[in-house]
């Protein structure tokens, strides 16, 4: 049993849980995820680790309410326990000193981006981060991101915080200002698609995390299969991170049932304006 040590509400539908998990807290690396099962009758769901404390023997998970299990998990309180937390799973992010790294996080994708931002900064890189969301209330972990970034630019769809625009607008500002050696983008699939279209124009290597398509986390269900450079990959065992310029995002988006049509329309409109 894994006890919940603390809980924080980012918004009505997004919460952060600090969970007792001694082994995972000592061994997790940026990019790793866990499989969670609330009780004996519960389904297994994958969640990317957004942080850990070896001293407290805890890991931090950010949960967005999108279904029965995630809603039930988000409703747990301090002192409650989760039956199973298995991990760390997946391949850790390859981190090295490459120079200047552009980080792009969208919505709850900011949570798994945090340990990667921290890791690249500790490796000696200059880190420029764009945080994007539909509105101010959906910008997560801003203070933590700022702690490990040289510069942070915030963009919101409605202009309620930071600059009005999309994540790609913020990325372009950094790219036009200085030489970018590498990029990491994590967020909704549609966001990552257009983030990669942006970096591809400038030949900037880009890493994406496709954790949003994972289901059981073992590779057996086949739900997380994606095409990368024309080959079939399974996100939970081959990833969750891949070369963003090689991912067939259109195929992935056709199979995703959780992404919202209005977000797609916003990015499609932006691309049309960009190509004019």
Asked if residue 275 has pLDDT above 50, the reply is no
Cβ–Cβ under 8 Å, residues 249 and 192: yes
User: pLDDT for 99-151, tens place per residue?
Assistant: 999 999 998 999 999 999 999 999 999 999 999 998 888 899 999 999 999 99
Q: Where are the domains of the chain?
A: 2-89, 100-275
Asked if residue 223 has pLDDT above 80, the reply is no
How much is the average pLDDT of 255-276?
52
How much is the average pLDDT of 40-67?
89
How much is the average pLDDT of 56-75?
90
Helix (H, G, I), strand (E, B) or coil at 266: helix
User: pLDDT for 70-100, tens place per residue?
Assistant: 899 999 999 999 999 998 998 899 999 999 9
Asked if residue 214 has pLDDT above 80, the reply is no
The pLDDT value given to residue 259: 43
* % of the chain at pLDDT higher than 70: 89
The pLDDT value given to residue 56: 93
How much is the average pLDDT of 235-251?
85
Asked if residue 256 has pLDDT above 80, the reply is no
Confidence of residue 265 (pLDDT cuts 50, 70, 90): low
The pLDDT value given to residue 113: 95
Could you tell me which of 178, 185, 168, 186 has the C-alpha nearest to residue 126?
Answer: 178
The verdict on whether omega for the bond into residue 240 sits within 30 degrees of 0, i.e. cis, is: yes
The pLDDT value given to residue 213: 73
pTM: 0.88
Distance CA 226, CA 233 (A): 5
* % of the chain at pLDDT higher than 90: 59
Confidence of residue 68 (pLDDT cuts 50, 70, 90): confident
**Residue that the structure tokens 């880009």 belong to:** 206
Looking at domain 2-89, its CATH superfamily turns out to be: Translation factors (2.40.30.10)
Q: Among 132-141, 214-223, 240-249, which is the least confidently predicted range?
A: 214-223
What are the backbone dihedrals phi and psi of residue 136, each rounded to the nearest 5 degrees, phi first? -55, -40
Cβ–Cβ under 8 Å, residues 271 and 194: yes
- 100-275 has CATH 3.40.50.80 classification: yes
Distance CA 130, CA 104 (A): 5
User: pLDDT for 152-187, tens place per residue?
Assistant: 999 998 888 988 989 999 999 999 999 999 999 999
Distance CA 31, CA 115 (A): 8
Cβ–Cβ under 8 Å, residues 208 and 242: yes
């Amino acid at each position: 049993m894994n006890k919940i040590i603390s809980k924080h509400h980012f918004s009505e539908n997004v919460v952060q849980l600090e969970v007792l998990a001694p082994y995972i807290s000592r061994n997790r690396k940026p990019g790793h995820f866990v499989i969670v099962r609330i009780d004996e009758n519960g389904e297994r769901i994958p969640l990317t680790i957004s942080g850990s404390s070896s001293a407290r023997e805890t890991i931090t998970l950010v949960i967005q309410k999108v279904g029965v299990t995630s809603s039930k998990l988000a409703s747990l309180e301090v002192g409650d326990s989760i039956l199973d937390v298995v991990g760390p799973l997946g391949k850790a992010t390859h981190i090295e000193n490459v120079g200047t790294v552009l980080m792009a996080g969208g919505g709850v994708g900011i949570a798994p981006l945090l340990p990667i931002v921290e890791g690249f900064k500790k490796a000696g890189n200059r880190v420029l981060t764009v945080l994007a969301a539909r509105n101010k209330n959906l910008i997560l972990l801003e203070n933590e991101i700022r702690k490990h970034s040289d510069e942070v630019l915030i963009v919101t769809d409605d202009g309620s915080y930071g600059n009005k625009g999309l994540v790609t607008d913020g990325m372009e500002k950094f790219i036009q200002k200085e030489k970018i050696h590498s990029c990491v983008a994590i967020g909704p699939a549609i966001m990552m698609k257009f983030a990669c279209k942006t970096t591809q124009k400038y030949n900037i290597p880009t890493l994406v995390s496709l954790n949003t398509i994972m289901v059981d986390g073992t590779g057996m269900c086949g739900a997380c299969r994606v095409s990368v450079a024309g080959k079939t990959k399974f996100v939970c065992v081959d990833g969750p991170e891949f070369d963003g310029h090689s991912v067939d995002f259109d195929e992935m988006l056709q199979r995703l049932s959780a992404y919202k049509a209005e977000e797609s329309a916003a990015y499609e409109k932006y691309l049309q304006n960009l190509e004019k």
